[in-house]
Amino acid sequence: MASELRKIGVGEDCELAVRIDDYLLPWDTKPPVVMLHGLAESGEAFRRWVPYFATHHLVVRPDLRGYGDSTPMQGDYVYRFAGLGDDIIRMLDALKLDRVFLVGGKIGGTLAMHLTAKHPDRVIAVAAVGAPASLTSFNERAPTWRKQIREQGVEAWVRETTAGRLGSSLPPAALDWWINLMSKTKASTLEAFLQMVPTVDVTGELPSIKRPALVITTTGSGLGDVASVKAWQETIPGSKLEVLPGDSYHVAATDPDVCARKVREFFDRLKT
């Protein structure tokens, strides 16, 4: 089979674009892996991860509502974080996927933890990579970002914020690739999405996660120092924390090989 892009309706107002990577031998398969991207990205954010999983897992990479090749949202659309989770459950139902491994980067990792807490029957294990438990600290930044996007466009905002997001380790060509990917996001989607971002806080849901959980962060993450990440990670029963060196908070992007190997090893140790 290989890779294909499908469109899946998740409501009257939205079709999700879903990349499905299938290199499986039918007699040697493990449960599917669903990868959830972050703000202003698409399923393409995990392209480097695919080779680590797709020979034994069906890999499913949706473009979240409004992003990538999914239906763009209007600026006055009211995003609900729980609604993003509902979209993923509808996608799983449409694909007839019962139980899956979840991987998420940035706010996609926050969403993955939410889904694991609320739908434990659908999740085998979860990996939150460079993901915050709460985004309430963005209550000042989000309006500023929205204003910049309205006045200067998406690419100008992406370029100005890339250093904080991706740190200092990537070569110029890699930075250009990420800037190009994120700049494809519709301004109207970001206008709507960024109004929701400061309301997102799954801290209270974390103790309800009853599935194996791996959290990956960096020593210099702009989303919280190691101590603060460890504080919320330890509220997830039996969870594991991996700390990588670096000044990126989007470690799934800056260290995809290391992160993918650690997540695969974590999933492989589990009995499914």
> Whose CA is closest to 146, among 189, 94, 82, 88?
189
C-alpha 156/C-alpha 179 separation (Å) is 9
The model's pTM is: 0.97
Q: Supply the DSSP symbol for 201.
A: B
Residue 269, number of CB atoms within 10 A of its CB: 9
**Burial letters for 47-61: b for 16+ Cβ neighbours within 10 Å, e otherwise?**
bebbebbbebbbbbb
Each residue's pLDDT, cut to its tens digit, for the chain (272 residues) gives 689 999 999 988 899 999 999 999 989 899 999 999 999 999 999 999 999 999 999 999 999 999 999 999 999 999 999 999 999 999 999 999 999 999 999 999 999 999 999 999 999 999 999 999 999 999 999 999 999 999 999 999 999 999 989 999 999 999 999 999 999 999 999 999 999 999 999 999 999 999 999 999 999 998 889 999 999 999 999 999 999 999 999 999 999 999 999 999 999 999 77
